[in-house]
Amino acid sequence: MFCPPSHRNLLCQTIAYDVCVFGAGPAGTAAAIRLAAKGLSVVLLERPMQMKPWGGESFTGAIRTPLETLGCWEQFERANHRCAYERQSAWGSEPLVESSIFRMDGPTWHVDREKFDDDLRSAALARGIPLISYHGLNGITRESDSWFVALDEEFRIRAAYLVDATGRSRALARRLRAKIEFHDQLIGLCNAVPHRENGVEIQSMMLEATSFGWWYAAPTPNGHVVAILTDSDLAPAELRRRFRTVAANSALTYMDAFDGWLPVGDACASHDPLCGWGVYRALTNGILAADAIFAFLASGATTQLENYRDHCYRQYDRYLTGLTERYSIERRWPTAPFWQWRHRPVSHASG
């Protein structure tokens, strides 16, 4: 697929696909797998990651539904992620212990996020979906009903539709000058802690509110992940030096069903880790977006594209309402800047 060395400065022959997906995380691979299952030709584009995912992440049992839809559940079960049944929390009241044994969707899964993402990419490759790694996006143009994407001055892709699955960077949305609405400045200061030989293994997730935000610790297959959540202007310099800093804010990308592209996953709506919905929604909305794109390319009808857009807006509105309600439970530090901001009236999507 690449030019020979003697032609590095020339564009190769244009390669045509029905859909070009930017980003090979959970949302992008879910959309690509679903599109390929419907018979469309799709390509996944991935830039080398400057920063790997968090060392670990926790999913509710609801994650099974989209993984089964994609045909990836059995692979997930074989991956040695940790299954757990308890969460300890101190949030607005005395410490509580919650058991997932009573949940309809089953236990909590503490996963190795890097392996989870790798397994989804492997599933896409196994279905014949090409995965192209690139360093530079040299141009995106639209001519009639086709997009032309130039990469690394080496080759060009033509596609009828584009998907932005580039995560919080929203690389495609920003290139196409989409409106992005930010809700807060939350960041995560996180570290992976390896297992200690002969040490006591804590199987439950722990979460606690503090005057400057909140923190949690969760087991992973290789140890624990510890994260402190606070606003970017409140994070002490000392903690920034000792922990890895990642964005954790809430934000929404506005879209137009007639523009020939859709955002999915964090590129569409990014979530506060407190809700625990990020990866689940990345998978489910990736599937919904794929179904809408397929319907549009098959018939030219935009109804499902509009439904996807409206669904994302309503979902984000409900998320903001629920997030505000969750934060409003904690009233021990009413004058602390972190909590004052989160106790204000919620602002809803208006696109």
pLDDT exceeds cutoff 90 at 247: yes
Q: What are 280-295's pLDDT values in tens digits?
A: 999 999 999 999 999 9
Above 50 in pLDDT, residue 7? no
* Chain centre distance of CA 76: 17
Question: In whole angstroms, what is the distance from residue 245 CA to residue 168 CA?
Answer: 14
At 202 the pLDDT is 65
For the record, the structure tokens of 11 come out as: 């564009």
- For residue range 107-153, list pLDDT tens digits in order: 888 888 889 999 999 999 999 999 999 988 889 999 988 999 999 87
DSSP codes, 82-117: EEE-EEEEESSSS-EEEEGGG-TT--EEEE-HHHHH
CA-CA distances (angstroms) from residue 272 to 78, 114, 187, 204, 326? 29, 20, 9, 21, 11
- pLDDT, tens only, 302-316: 999 999 999 999 999
Looking at domain 5-342, its CATH class is alpha beta
Strand 244-247 to strand 86-90: parallel, antiparallel, or no bridges (unpaired)? unpaired
Domain ranges of the chain: 5-342
Residue 80 has pLDDT above 90, yes or no: no
Confidence of residue 46 (pLDDT cuts 50, 70, 90): very high
User: In this predicted structure, what is the pLDDT of residue 219?
Assistant: 84
Lowest-pLDDT range of 35-49, 187-201, 212-226, 286-300:
187-201
Q: Which SS3 state, helix, strand or coil, does residue 45 take?
A: strand
